[in-house]
Chain A
Amino acid sequence: MNTYPNPFSEAISYQRMEQYDQEHLESLSNISPMTRTQQPIVTGTSVLAVKYKDGIMMTTDCLASYGSLARFKNIERMIKVGNSTIIGASGDMSDFQYITYLMDKLMTKEYNANNGQPLAPENIYEYLSQVMYQRRNKFDPLWNALVVGGYQDGKSFLGYVNLRGTTYQSDTIATGYGAYIAQPLLRNAVEKKNGELFTEEEAKKLLDDCMRVLFYRDARSLNKLQRATVTAAGVTISEPYSLETEWGFAEHIRGYGA
């Protein structure tokens, strides 16, 4: 192979090349791969939900924490989607607000289509599950555990989906800390009923009792909560309310610095 003299050889400064290499490599060593949501920042704790006689009942508290700081104390963690579905969220609240936006976008599209076939809770749940799973596939998850409750055409629906797209449907669902503390209580109550469904009053009491225990034991919870129902009459999300608590026993605790 012939080699030809480089007519620009004079112009090449090895000094400058060296300097360039050095700067270039230094800048390379400072960058890290593109980062996406790697951890939740402002978070909500448990969501509890049960099926009952008239449909679905769901509860969340109104707290959004920043680490251990009780950062926002008047947050709504349940949203109404259409007239027969609610979504309750634990996990990252900014991701949940994005999901709220996605739902609005979806429902606006449906509204405009005006085809007389409203999306059923199952449809909204499937859509949401696909979004969650696709985002995990992109390594850019929406950091939430979501509960979808619905009631349409005399049928109750209760489903769960999380940041990895894992899904299941069940008569009782509890996310986050509630999965440890409330879920056993909920299942116990269901099994005691022997196949019969809760009345509205029973469901209310059951969820309130669970939320009370969670308030006692979950350090990221707040005694200000909301209750939502989905029934044939539609979706209602209550105003925030508080539960009666009893701290008298604390006096008798000895040890642990008391």
Chain B
Amino acid sequence: MSSIGTGYDLSSSTYSLDGRIFQVEYAMKAVDNSGLCIGLRAKDGIVLAISKLVHSKLLVPKSNKRIASVDQHIGMVCPGLIADGKALIKRARAEAQNYKDNFRMPISGKMIADRMGQFVQAYTLYSSVRPFGCSTLIATYDSVGPSLYMIDPSGVYWGYFGCAVGKNKQIAKAEIEKLKLNELTSRQAVMEVARIMYSVMEDDIKDRDYEIEYTWICDESDKKHVEVPSDLIEEAERKAKESLDDDDDDDMDDE
């Protein structure tokens, strides 16, 4: 980071001497501060989850949702700066409706990911704007089946089997890589997501108020993006906590 402080990080419209755009990289740092967000593509659907700190006891439980629907078949979550995420969701809804206005059919996952990628990328070109301080996970279920995309603050996007964004994303990614996502059902994926969430965030959140939001879009949900049924969440979280206790016990035994 030798070039930091030499003036090349003040605008995203200028490259640094070694060809980087620092403003975009800073935006990625903003994303890293977010609560952990996981997306898994199982064989019959997608599961999205995000953990968030509840910063005030005065908030109504389960209010201030972070995962949003863009159309019936599209779910979206933007870990990072919340307000930036809201702007992206608004844009995505406009894109989805605009596509319908023109073609009278729902937009495909590939198209919405591409249009949002272009939109995000445009905010890395000008000195008058700031890149989006959030990554974007898009879960869709269309004619080609379930797909999961993630867009960087740089505008780059890829399709994923599984991805993790935010605090401790490296550990979460390592856990995700162990899964056989092609064989997992969405129900099983919910279990795995909860397990990973709890095992990863345990350390820094333990004593603080937090909530985890789960949504899915799968055959069971009729290919619609909806919240995961509460009984399934309860079961998944119970099992996740149990496995944590088991680990603790194991640790004790080791000692």
Binding site for B on A (CB under 8 A): 101, 104-105, 108, 111-112, 114
Contact = CB atoms under 8 A, between A and B. Distances in A.
Interface string B88-112: 0000010011001000100000000
Nearest to A113: B69
A96 B102 CA distance: 17
B70 interface: yes
Contacts of A104: 100
B208 interface: no
B66 to A, nearest CB: 12
B69 A112 contact: yes
B68 interface: yes
B178 interface: no
A75 B60 CA distance: 48
A111 B97 contact: no
B65 A108 contact: no
Interface string B38-69: 00000000000000000000000000010011
A105 B97 CA distance: 7
Chain A interface, DSSP helix/strand/loop, else mixed: helix
B71 interface: yes
Given A112-B93, A114-B65, A101 B104 contact: yes
A114 B226 CA distance: 9
B214 to A, nearest CB: 14
Contacts of B170: none
Given A105-B97, A108-B96, A112-B71, 6 more contacts: A105-B100, A108-B100, A111-B72, A112-B68, A114-B65, A114-B69
Nearest to A108: B71
Contacts of B70: 112
Contacts of B97: 105, 108
Contacts of A108: 71-72, 96-97, 100
A93 to B, nearest CB: 15
21 contacts: A101-B100, A101-B104, A104-B100, A105-B97, A105-B100, A108-B71, A108-B72, A108-B96, A108-B97, A108-B100, A111-B69, A111-B71, A111-B72, A112-B68, A112-B69, A112-B70, A112-B71, A112-B93, A114-B65, A114-B68, A114-B69
A116 to B, nearest CB: 10
Contacts of A111: 69, 71-72
A211 to B, nearest CB: 30
